[in-house]
Structure 1
Amino acid sequence: MLASLNDPFQQISPSAHDIPTMHFEPLGKEVKALMVWPRFPPSFWGFEGVLEMVPEKSVMPPLGLITVAALCPSSWVIRLLDLSFEELREEDLLWADLVMVSSMQAQRIDTLDVLSRARRLGRRTFIGGPWASSEPEFLTTQADHVFVGEAEEVFGDIAHQLEQGSAQAIYKVADKPDMSVSPIPRFDLLHMNKYTSMSVQFSRGCPFQCEFCDIITIYGRRPRAKPPEKLIAELDALLALGWRNEVFIVDDNFIGNHKLALQLTHSLAAWQDRSKRVISFYTEASIDLADKPELLASMVEANFMYVFLGIETPSAEALKGSSKFQNLRGDLVTQVSKIRESGLWVLAGFIVGFDSDDETIFERQLQFIDKTAITWAMAGVLQAPPTTALFDRMKREGRLIEDSTATTNFSAPNFKTVLPLPVLLRGLSTLLTGLYTPANYFGRAMRSLESWKPRPAQRPPELPLLYNLRVFVQSIWQQGVCSNYRLAYWRFLLTAIRRWALQPAKMWLAFMVLLSANHFLKYARAVAEDLEAQCQVLEDLELSSQTLAVVTES
């Protein structure tokens, strides 16, 4: 809801949250805005090992920032810095009247550094995005302006306030905007050749009630979507700028409103025919996609190639305990197979550390992932993000670790777990080690490709010959010559060529899987070693505590 009829923003009370009333100088009409996208730490999603071999420097651009850029007045001068491949120099900050940052929790460290540097130089700072929507009170101590919520229907007024000198320290917009008012993002601000894929958004929100998910608390449980023609206008804008590669539809659950998703995919299929299928799609969805054959077929016809599923766990008890009921409505193994056989290759996320998990969960996860042949399996520990039902429950039960600095799913959880922490972290280390041996990784990859049934409508992007040759040579050198898994590499590559050399879709995906081994095998090993180190520290602390107790007693 809006705070009042006269005020389009719900301002958080300074007295209630210890936020001092601030007066800000007017920035004027011709604001120089520097938009900054902070670095992520290495992650499964970062594909850092792949980026070592390709010309691009990042997987995808900051869609939120370039959407806000499209909301800014035309009189503003906007620059964008993506710190995944660009440096933030002092002269960049000094150029700006306003430094605007969007951030996720995982970008916390670099975000705080950006804000601190800007404020030391006397620059005005403004932060929005998922982290700001989760922890606004903390961020009011780090930035001049904090924005909570979605900006489409209100940012014009905020910009006017910034120009006039009446801006607030914190804005909280409770209403969820009509997605039809969302503008075409400013793709022109991007160094497009630095990204392996572009991103667009069709919908926000998810109808489910998973206890650990902050999507439903930030974006709501009623999915809202753009009209198909609006998303197609964004794709046309990408085509006009020369984009001819993958596009990630970043919806947290693309099928949250499956009827709207079906309408879109019908429109996308027609658009693909007009545009000669030079773009392929991938997205995220809930596993009940398996129960929607018409939507599956339409996604395939629209040139979706693969989909990420939030499977989380094969434990029915854990799924029930975390209110992920949609994963209890069918057999998970059968559902994964149905989606893949229908034409969409499957990758998935997995979680350990639910209250019902015991020491057998790690082997059960390993067996499930092997049985389903999910090659890219992102496994991590459960966290309780602020605003979630899990966070609230942990607080009520006195289990929340208030001063936790956890930023990833490989950090110790921000709550006291039922499973002893060393057991949990070492179990995850063992799980990752088992998933990402060369034999297990390439074995799952081969079986997943054998069972994947692409259709004639699915065409991978056709990249320039010189680009492909460059990447292939880098792969042969780094993986086929220098790596410690080169024998498995050559065995997989030669088998793929022998079986699928005349099937472009399968050969394209096989080469993606091959390149990605350089990321998953190395990153999983590094994480497993770090988890072991965390366990050792915990065990040393426990030993020291026991020794001190004995000494004290004696």
Structure 2
Amino acid sequence: MSKPKLTLVAMSGLRVGHEGLLQRGLKLPGLARRASALSQLPPLGLLTIAALVPETWDIELLMDDGVTAVSEVAEQILSGKSSTQPAMVAFSALTPSADRAARISQLVRRRNVTTVIGGLHATATPDHCRPHFDVVVQGDGESTFAKLLSDFAGGRGRDSYRADGSFSLGDSPLPRWDLLGDHSPPRYTIQSMRGCPWACSFCAASRLLEPARVKPDERFEAELKAIASRKARPWIELADDNTFASGRDHGPMLESLRRHGARWFTESDWRIAKQPELLSQIAESGCRQILVGLESNVFRYPGMGAKNADWQRMLEAVDVIQEAGIVVNGCLIVGADGETPESMERLGDFLEEAPMGEIQLTLQTPFPGTSLYDSLLRSQRLLPGDFSRYTLFDVVYQPDQMTAEQLQNEFNDLVGRVFRPEVQSRRDSIQKRIRSSRRSPGKRS
């Protein structure tokens, strides 16, 4: 008797709804480089869930590029590499890809295939997902997926599963990297911490997955060792929201990264600049770049806790981090309340001469599950349309100082301005200078 097949579908690819922005900004070298890196990240969540699937199932992994026609993607799912129709298809989708996943699911369900969706969007908006999928999974998939499969096999399937937030990252299984085949992605992903102790009003991850939890050092080492066995001196992207926000001793994790020769990227807040010993360890462990949330220069978001600071204090921290030999990717949110054409002009002036080796510019986006979303919903400022527009680059709410069209046009102009080749070249020079400082005596190259 043949095994039932489970197909895992990762909804990947950069999504931007506004064609004008694509033409004027996102094809510029600075943005294209980061977009390419993001699109090539392996689907850590699905690969981890796959490790919990019993041997009584066959598993296939399919990566949706966000461009191929949904009908073609559905046919790829239904036929697969083995030409065997799956019994179940499980999607992992963030908000901007959720509606596309729903369209694919509806085509697949016509062939009597059970479809499942999980992830942050499903956790935040299960009612949005239920009409389009047979099963909606909320919260930690590690707590629920094995039960879901067991229920399905026994004919006891339910339409909803919800984790209680008690899953310990010490029980994390090794991701099924073998599902990627012989292909070695440019970057691998590891999660050292799930969630964040802060509750920034624009961020869903800090609250949707229950308490912030850290992965024990021995589990982190086991995952990194498995990756290093596939690729020497791997590029690692830590799939964390704020890696150094916990009070743990980060030394063992950083030593693991150093020992395996990893080059790595993560996200943190500016306060690591206040810990010179930790900063030195981070640099020596192979960290190449840290995304630091500078957020907005016109508005301080509620819920930022101890990371809240004035603009000048954060810029001083940027200098300290980069002096340690780590490139700072300054992350800025445009379009908060109080934003005007004049404030965006000032931001453009600053970014043309800013000290950061890299920058990330996004539009304020009220993702479901955030207090920002709830606030704009209550005040009836959310614009009509589906979730495919929630890309970080498209205006989906009514600004308080401009029209939505004006904000979009001003943002497009700002992106074109600060990512044009000569300005990006200046940031590239900053990066080269920072990295050359790492090669001085006593520093790891």
> TM-score band (shorter)?
0.7 to 0.9
Native 8 Å contact 1:225 1:260 kept in 2: no
Mark the CA change 1:449 to 1:314 in structure 2 (over 3 Å): closer, same or farther. farther
Comparing 364-373 with 428-437, which one deviates more in the overlay?
364-373
- The answer on 1:369 being equivalent to 2:351 is yes
Contact 2:11 2:65 in 1 (8 A): yes
Q: Does 1:31 align with 2:4?
A: yes
Q: CA deviation at 1:77?
A: 1.1
Distance 1:153 1:82, change over 3 A: same
Q: 1:130 aligns with which of 120, 136, 140?
A: 120
Look up the match of 2:325. Answer: 343
Q: How far apart are the structure 1 equivalents of 2:106 and 2:250?
A: 42
| Distance 1:435-1:373 versus aligned 2 partners, 3 A rule | same
The two structures have a TM-score, normalised by structure 2, of: 0.86
Number of residue pairs the alignment of both structures matches: 422
Q: Identify the match of residue 301 of structure 1 among 284, 299, 303.
A: 284
Structure 1 range deviating more: 65-74 or 93-102? 93-102
**Would you say the 8 A contact 1:284–1:308 is kept in 2?**
yes
Query: Which whole-Å CA distance do the structure 1 matches of 2:39 and 2:303 have between them?
Result: 33
Higher relative contact order (CA 8 A, sep 6+): 2
Tell me the equivalent position of 1:40: 13
Distance in 2, matches of 1:34 and 1:112, equals: 15
Calculate the TM-score normalised by the size of structure 1: 0.70
- 8 Å CA contact 2:93, 2:101 repeated in 1: yes
Deviation at 1:47, TM superposition (A): 8.4
Q: CA deviation at 1:410?
A: 1.8
- Matches of 1:132 and 1:98 in 2, distance apart? 17
Answer yes or no: is 1:91 the counterpart of 2:79. yes
Letter in 2 for 1:238: I
Q: Is the 8 A contact 1:313 1:365 kept in 2?
A: no
Structure 1 window deviating more from structure 2 (438-447 vs 337-346): it is 438-447
The answer to whether structure 1 residue 395 and structure 2 residue 368 are counterparts is no
Matches within 5 A, 1:255-404: 255-269=244-258, 272=259, 275=260, 277=261, 279-315=262-298, 318-320=299-301, 323=304, 326-328=307-309, 331-401=313-383, 403-404=385-386
Q: Partner of 1:181 in structure 2?
A: 171
The equivalent residue for 1:208 is 198
Distance of 1:438 and 1:110 partners within structure 2 = 33
Map 1:394-433 onto structure 2 (within 5 A): 394-401=376-383, 403-405=385-387, 406-433=389-416
Counterpart contact for 1:41–1:107, Cα < 8 Å? no
Structure 1 residues 356, 31: CA separation in 2 closer, same or farther (over 3 Å shift)?
A: same
Displacement of 1:348: 2.6
Per the alignment, residue 528 of structure 1 pairs with: none
Distance in 2 (CA, whole Å) between partners of 1:48 and 1:206 is 26
CA RMSD in angstroms comes to 3.0
CA distance in 1, matches of 2:322, 2:208: 31
After TM superposition, the structure 1 = structure 2 runs for residues 211-226 of structure 1, keeping only pairs within 5 Å, are 211-220=201-210, 222-226=211-215
- % identical equivalent positions: 24
- More divergent stretch after superposition (346-355 vs 416-425): 416-425
Offset of residue 321 of structure 1? 5.4
Of Structure 1 and Structure 2, the greater helix share is in 1
Show structure 2 runs of 5+ residues with no match. 17-25
- After superposition, what is the alpha-carbon deviation per residue over 1:198-238, rounded to whole angstroms, capped at 9, x for unaligned? 11111111111211111112124x42111111111111111
Deviation at 1:395, TM superposition (A): 2.3
Alignment partners' CA distance in 2, 1:282 and 1:84: 23
Which residue does the alignment assign to 1:250?
A: 239
The C-alpha deviation readout for 1:144-175, integer Å capped at 9, x for no partner, is 11100002233322221111111210112232
- Could you say which residue in structure 2 is the equivalent of 1:68? 49
Q: Counterparts of 1:232-251 in structure 2 under 5 Å?
A: 232-251=221-240
Aligned residue identity for 2:108: A
Q: CA deviation at 1:241?
A: 2.5
Give the gaps of 5 or more residues in structure 1: 1-27, 460-504, 506-554
- Measured in 2, the distance between the counterparts of 1:251 and 1:361 equals 31
- CA distances 1:76-111 after superposition (whole Å, capped 9, x unpaired): 111111123997424128521111111111223431
Alpha-carbon distance between aligned partners in 2 of 1:443 and 1:402, rounded to the nearest angstrom:
40
Equivalent in the alignment of 2:62:
81
